[in-house]
Structure 1
Amino acid sequence: MSAPDVFAPAVLGPVRLRNRTVKAATFEGRTPHGQVTDELIDYHLAPARGGVGLTTVAYLAVAPEGRTHAEVIVVGPGTASGLARLAEAVHETGAGIAGQVGHAGPVANGRSNGVRALSSSRMPSPLSLQMIRSATERDLTRVTRAYVSSARTLVQAGFDVLELHMAHSYLISSFLAPGLNKRRDRWGGPLENRARLARQVARAVREEVGDEAAVTAKVSLSDGFRGGVTTSVGLELAGLLESDGHLDALQLSGGSSLMNPMYLFRGDAPVEEFAAAMPLAVRLGMKTPVGRSFMKTYPFEEAYFREKALGFRERLTMPLMLLGGINRLDTMEQAMADGFEFVAMGRALLREPGLVDRLAAQRGSQGPSPSGVCIHCNRCMPTIYAEGGTHCPEVPA
């Protein structure tokens, strides 16, 4: 059986997409008041007009304390009309739209949000310099209901796909990581307990939306820090999620926004630029040896998560999205040959929003596989906090 064509129409759960390319969720920095703006719409129109099958809005919080910081959109009645306007604009290009739905947990800046962050267990926050409180049973019931309410709002707004965030040390991920989850109740200990929140949220969201939208999850191949989700834990979690049958696909990611972000990004670590963009207390902390170790350096290579992801492909039958350093046509075609159903791209599309259309047009030409032009300097990362929002510094303003 031949591999599917990455540029041909594809089905994701109940949703039909024009191709198998996904613009991954990368925070846009274009919602200064927590509302959809024209700038946010333009940000997603660029890759949508450039050929992607699905563009993903990041990051959409289910609760005020679940924002990474105060400017993040909280899904609800006050933001629904703007989200509908965004979805309509994307649909006019022929692309689908996904919303990355989540609760930031310990990655939330409680001082910015004006409400203490939550985690699986009590811990100090390097972002707010406050103590993060341990989530109670009441909190977890409330958060699960908030996922359901957010899912309903997004479906009514016209979103095609709901991506549940279960990675990067966000709230669900903090329960999965044994080094962060010190609980001795039914939410801690063996993975069956630590995975309870992930499975509960996936089930509740699916029961709410049925086949009105595709439901996927972003999960970790490896968190990249001692005490985080390992590849074996990630595989076991993925097996549980598959057996539950509530998800249409998994997007395979890695790293920790709290403990080791460069494990996800690879390439150059822009320590000075990142420190300059942060609040004074964090900036000073990043100049210490401990702070500098936060921005580790990992050499970039094309499709750097492929080897770990192949282990998931061998174990699972459900659709999988390959993410991590995908820039070239031959990489995309290899992913299809490997059995992955979709490819997700972030920085490459930030550098060149029309990359998908260009690669499709150049396929079959003589010479080496056409490639994107992202140089993986990662200087786009600090622009999250800059005026004008996330952008590639290599692209002239």
Structure 2
Amino acid sequence: METKKESILFTPANIGPVTLRNRTIRSAAFEGMCPGNSPSQQLKDYHLSVAEGGVGMTTLAYASVTRNGLSFPRQLWMRPEIVPALRDITDAIHATGAKASIQLGHCGNMSHKSTAGETPISASGRFNIYSPTPVRKMREDEIIAMSRSFGDAVRLARDSGMDCVEIHAGHGYLISQFLSPYTNHRRDRWGGSLDNRMRFMRMCLEEVMKAAGSDMGVVVKTNMRDGFKGGMEIDDALTVAREIERAGVHAIVLSGGFVSKAPMYVMRGEMPIKALTHY
């Protein structure tokens, strides 16, 4: 008698040292549930309901590694003061048998002085129509300090009880802004060749892996295409993905698009011209 084979989707899987009860993961999509850039009861209730639904892991998103990396007012900002509230959330998630992860990143030029607390920064300084706002080119000492901020954020995630972290290196955020020739026009060791443009990402991931140690899972989201002419294309994106793998991360989330340039490429659809015109 032939028996029905269980779907592999509902079998355990590992992300580095972390074992998930199954292979379903609530992806890192911004909830907008963090007034004052801090966790709320609403955020806890949301992720607890997802965990109770039986997923292997749920991911809080998006958490900025520094104040000037916030792109919206109701985003998380990683700092010691919010660790107890995050711990309350991870304890509740763990009680269901699920694992907890948090997406860490910096939006770079996709912010505004009113949100970031200062003129937005990026690989190069140009006016960003998305916000709209002038953008300041980062100094070398700021670039090095920012890579360390990624490591500090991972340590705070550990203190908060997170099992995994997801580093956002796609969608036209800061790491992606260094990778893409569209936003990186530098003529120093941080720009020009693809190898130079990957330097900031390498430094960030080095700090991340050091902070994650041997018991946290590390995932990186990266673009396969920026979604427009003059941006990253598949060949270079594959080189970036290999570099991410060499850094020792445990999983890669393949995505694409620049929120500030090709937002519908991120959404995987055509621009809703009729709806936009109507509203």
Per the TM superposition, whether the score is higher than 0.5 is yes
Look up the SS of the partner of 2:254 in the other structure.
Answer: strand
> What is the total number of aligned residue pairs between the two structures?
275
Look up the SS of the partner of 1:158 in the other structure.
Answer: coil
Long gaps (5+) in structure 1: 277-286, 288-397
Q: How does 1:99-110 map to 2 (within 5 A)?
A: 99-110=102-113
Q: 1:268 deviation in Å?
A: 6.1
Look up the SS of the partner of 2:8 in the other structure.
Answer: coil
Identify the residue that residue 260 of structure 2 maps to in structure 1. 258
1:48–1:93: 8 Å Cα contact kept in structure 2? yes
Could you tell me which of 217, 224, 233 is aligned with 1:214? 217
Q: 1:266 deviation in Å?
A: 2.4
Q: How does 1:8-157 map to 2 (within 5 A)?
A: 8-157=11-160
1:106–1:258: 8 Å Cα contact kept in structure 2? no
Distance in 1, Cα, partners of 2:270 & 2:60 = 25
What whole-Å deviation, never above 9, does each CA across 1:159-179 have from its counterpart, x for those lacking one?
011111100010000011011
TM-score of the superposed pair, with normalisation by structure 2: 0.92
What whole-Å deviation, never above 9, does each CA across 1:315-349 have from its counterpart, x for those lacking one?
xxxxxxxxxxxxxxxxxxxxxxxxxxxxxxxxxxx
Q: 1:46 deviation in Å?
A: 2.3
Long gaps (5+) in structure 2: none
Greater mean deviation of Cα atoms: 19-28 or 70-79:
70-79
Identify the residue that residue 394 of structure 1 maps to in structure 2. none
Look up the SS of the partner of 2:232 in the other structure.
Answer: coil
TM-score of the superposed pair, with normalisation by structure 1: 0.66
Distance in 1, Cα, partners of 2:277 & 2:198 = 34
Look up the SS of the partner of 1:247 in the other structure.
Answer: coil
Distance in 1, Cα, partners of 2:276 & 2:252 = 30
Identity of aligned residues (%): 36
Could you tell me which of 248, 251, 255 is aligned with 1:249? 251
2:257–2:266: 8 Å Cα contact kept in structure 1? yes
Greater mean deviation of Cα atoms: 266-275 or 205-214:
266-275
Could you tell me which of 149, 166, 170 is aligned with 2:169? 166
What whole-Å deviation, never above 9, does each CA across 1:71-129 have from its counterpart, x for those lacking one?
22111112111111111111112111111001111122333333111111011122443
Distance in 2, Cα, partners of 1:111 & 1:271 = 30
Letter paired with 2:156: T
Letter paired with 1:227: G
Distance in 1, Cα, partners of 2:134 & 2:44 = 36
Look up the SS of the partner of 2:77 in the other structure.
Answer: coil
Could you tell me which of 231, 236, 256 is aligned with 1:233? 236
Look up the SS of the partner of 1:154 in the other structure.
Answer: helix
Identify the residue that residue 196 of structure 2 maps to in structure 1. 193
2:33–2:75: 8 Å Cα contact kept in structure 1? no
Look up the SS of the partner of 2:81 in the other structure.
Answer: coil
Distance in 2, Cα, partners of 1:275 & 1:66 = 31
1:111–1:128: 8 Å Cα contact kept in structure 2? no
Letter paired with 1:256: F
What whole-Å deviation, never above 9, does each CA across 1:291-318 have from its counterpart, x for those lacking one?
xxxxxxxxxxxxxxxxxxxxxxxxxxxx
Distance in 2, Cα, partners of 1:82 & 1:273 = 39
Greater mean deviation of Cα atoms: 108-117 or 249-258:
108-117
